[in-house]
Amino acid sequence: MSILLDENSRVLVQGITGQQARTHVSYMIRYGTKVVAGVSPGKAGVVLDGVPVYDSVRTAITKHPVDISVLFVPAPHTKDAALEAIENEIPLVVVLAEGVPHHDAAEIIDRAAKKGVRLIGPNSQGMISPGKAKLGGTGGAEPERLYTHGPVGIISRSGGMGGEIANVLTRRGIGQSTYISIGGDLLIGTAFVPLLRLFEKDPQTKVVVLFGEPGTGHEEEVAKLIHERSLTKPLIALVVGESLEKMPQGMSFGHTSSIIGRGLGSPSRKKRLLREAGVQVVETLSEVAVLVESALAKSS
């Protein structure tokens, strides 16, 4: 199995006629993703890579059942596109754009919660269930070089580092069930804990790897989840960015989520709390593969 995405997921692409979408949608289809429709205002009637394009989400979903909408939409226009998908109650909405204004992101997240829609992102690279389907830029043109089918779930704040983790596992002969890039912005729809709960229920997933960064309290919530004994599967975490703790408080470096204030969100604190909860916290990528291999051997 996998979580959120598989070969049967029916995908709508918003912003399908844009340059990024034209590139990546072809990769998605080639990999096996079932892209059933696209939306681009004013472009109704166009067909791209065999995918029919409509003016609106409402029109598209009257013609095609949809499980997921992925947004290849620039940050200034993301709010309108995301709210359109949410108001039409598409179950899963994936926002790829980086730099979505915080007040826009807050409105999107609030509306999704009220509508019962799961939101991934903003600033998500996408996701992949290896051998089944992929969304967004995850894996690029040749995802099979990084990702293989197997028993390890991956959740990452960073799209690039999520791919690196999958790569070191694949090179060691260890496949993945689903990889999800949750987004590196300060405000995101779905953080680690809800996805860990899904991996906990997934019989294919035996081990989960988490990649964390400075800022926010998402990793701290993971520690709390484990203390509550709501996660039984082995969890391995790599949290980077301790050098930022030496910088003036309140300074952001890279993602806006990297702000550390009064110790909250500091990598050293995250790592300490995770270790106290029983998580195996590593310092290097090479350690991830070693510990995953050991955890899989114990669970077999």
Say whether 255 is catalytic: yes
Q: Given this model, what pLDDT does residue 249 score? A: 61
Q: Given this model, what pLDDT does residue 215 score? A: 82
Give residue-wise pLDDT tens across range 218-240: 999 999 999 999 899 999 999 99
Q: Given this model, what pLDDT does residue 242 score? A: 72
- In order, the DSSP letters of 227-294 are HTT---S-EEEEE--GGGGGSPTT---SSGGG--BTTBT-HHHHHHHHHHTT-EEESSHHHHHHHHHH
- The answer to whether residue 182 scores a pLDDT higher than 60 is yes
Determine which helix (DSSP H) or strand (DSSP E) holds 20, and give its type and residue range.
helix 19-31
**Are 155 and 195 a contacting pair, CB within 8 Å?**
yes
Give residue-wise pLDDT tens across range 91-130: 999 999 999 999 999 999 999 999 999 999 999 999 999 9
Q: What does the mean pLDDT of the chain come to?
A: 93
- The answer to whether residue 261 scores a pLDDT higher than 80 is no
Whether pTM exceeds 0.85: yes
- The answer to whether residue 254 scores a pLDDT higher than 60 is no
Q: Given this model, what pLDDT does residue 111 score? A: 98
Residue 250: band (very low, low, confident or very high) from pLDDT cuts 50, 70, 90: low
Q: Given this model, what pLDDT does residue 214 score? A: 86
- The answer to whether residue 258 scores a pLDDT higher than 60 is no
Give the separation between CA 232 and CA 200, rounded to whole angstroms: 7
Active-site residue (options: 64, 103, 149, 255) = 255
Give the separation between CA 236 and CA 184, rounded to whole angstroms: 19
**What residue ranges define each of the domains in the chain, with the CATH number in brackets?**
1-125 (3.40.50.720), 146-300 (3.40.50.261)
Nearest to 176 by CA among 137, 134, 145, 147: 147
DSSP reduced 3-state for 197: helix
- Among the ranges given (35-44, 154-163, 196-205, 245-254), the one the predictor scored with the smallest mean pLDDT: 245-254
Q: What percent of the chain has pLDDT over 90?
A: 86
Sign of CA dihedral 286, 288, 294, 300: negative
- Identify any residues that bridge with 94 across adjacent strands, giving them in sequence order: 70, 120
Give the separation between CA 47 and CA 201, rounded to whole angstroms: 39
- The answer to whether residue 78 scores a pLDDT higher than 60 is yes
